[in-house]
Amino acid sequence: MKKAWMVIIIFASLLALAGAGFVIFNKVSPANLDKKLGISGKNTSAQNSSMKQFSRKARIPKSSPRKIVLRSQTPVKSSAEMLEEFSSMDEVGRIRFISALNSYEPSLLKLALADKSKDVRITAVRFISFIPEDQVDISPFLTMALDDESAEVREEARNVMDSVNDDDSMLRIIGTSINSKHVDTRLKCVTEFNNLGASKGNFKKLMLKTLNDDDANVRNTSIATASSLWDKEFESGQEAVEYISNN
């Protein structure tokens, strides 16, 4: 009798352990984690729609070092042929076309920078960084991108602006972009004055313009930049303007 009770107790204990194991497994099973995270086993119509949109979205290739050469005297395709081919493509095709381009074609680049697709324009901006600036004036293209309606395109243009080494090119870019309606572009121009310190006599007029900018942030940044360049502690824009105008 005693042995029978022992068997019953042991059997009950095993059942209890099995039940606890089931509860633990059920709590941490992938299905329950999915429920906790709000993930259903089947895609909802909204999820399917989102996935389809993502699959159709053109991805912008990341910049990678490559050499851009000027077009030879006998190019494989004429400018007109390249423009026609580019214009006939869909968004993904246009992005790939610019990404694979290894020769400088100004008409095509200008067309890509004015493309209706933001992603195509970003790809075109990245292409600018590969153009040899000692052989080509890139300022018209970069100023065009710096005045783009898309903040993302302008950001990419500011990144390319950081790689400009020629002071004359930078002055041309600033000279145009300082008049942009976009505050972020005008601010970038002001910060670039620090890299032109050795030739500050060439951009005094531009600095005076930024010191009178409509935006307070641009004005304050200009005051700080002027104080650094002229080794002064200007208290106001007017003080900076008077000093720079007379020196």
> Does 172 map to a domain?
yes
171 and 104 in a common domain: no
170 and 133 in a common domain: no
Tally of domains in the chain: 2
240 and 172 in a common domain: yes
> Does 25 map to a domain?
no
Q: Which helix (H) or strand (E) holds 45?
A: helix 45-56
195 and 129 in a common domain: no
DSSP 3-state of 103: strand
246 and 170 in a common domain: yes
- Residues, the chain: 247
What pLDDT does 133 receive? 83
What pLDDT does 23 receive? 40
Res. 244: pLDDT tops 70? yes
Q: Which domain holds residue 190?
A: 166-247
Residue (of 177, 175, 168, 176) closest to 198 by Cα position: 168
Q: Give tens-digit pLDDT for 155-209.
A: 999 999 998 988 889 999 999 999 999 999 999 999 998 888 656 677 888 999 9
DSSP letter string, the chain: -HHHHHHHHHHHHHHHHHHHHHHHHHHHSHHHHHHHTT--SS--HHHHHHHHHHHHSPPPPPP-----EE--SS-SS-HHHHHHHHHTS-HHHHHHHHHH--EE-HHHHHHHHT-S-HHHHHHHHHHHTTS-TTTS--HHHHHHHHT-S-HHHHHHHHHHHTT---HHHHHHHHHHHTT-S-HHHHHHHHHHGGGGGGGGGGGHHHHHHHTT-SSHHHHHHHHHHHHHHTT---SSHHHHHHHHHT-
Q: Which domain-ending residue is among 120, 137, 154?
A: 137
186 and 128 in a common domain: no
195 and 126 in a common domain: no
173 and 124 in a common domain: no
> Does 56 map to a domain?
no
> Does 26 map to a domain?
no
77 token code pair: 């395709």
> Does 156 map to a domain?
no
> What's this model's pTM, rounded to 2 decimal places?
0.69
> Does 51 map to a domain?
no
Q: Give tens-digit pLDDT for 68-122.
A: 555 544 456 788 889 999 999 999 999 999 999 888 899 999 999 999 999 999 9
User: What is the rounded end-to-end Cα distance, in angstroms, of the chain?
Assistant: 113
> Does 103 map to a domain?
yes
Q: Give tens-digit pLDDT for 1-48.
A: 444 444 444 444 444 444 444 443 343 333 432 333 333 444 433 333
> Does 48 map to a domain?
no
182 and 240 in a common domain: yes
Q: Which domain-ending residue is among 137, 156, 184?
A: 137
218 and 173 in a common domain: yes
